[in-house]
Amino acid sequence: MSKTASYWVTGMTCAHCVAAVTEEVGALAGVSTVVIDLVVGGTSRLTVTSAEPLPVESVRDAIDEAGYTLTA
Tell me how far CA of residue 23 lies from CA of 2, 13, 17, 51, in angstroms.
19, 16, 10, 17
* 15 band by pLDDT with thresholds 50, 70 and 90: very high
pTM: 0.94
Question: 18 is in which domain, residue-wise?
Answer: 3-71
Q: What is the pLDDT of residue 41?
A: 86
Q: Please answer whether residues 53 and 2 qualify as being in contact, where contact means their C-beta atoms are separated by less than 8 angstroms.
A: no
CATH number, domain with residue 54? 3.30.70.100
pLDDT at position 72, please? 64
- Given a cut of 90, whether residue 66 has pLDDT beyond it is yes
Domains contained in the chain, number: 1
C-alpha 72/C-alpha 64 separation (Å) is 14
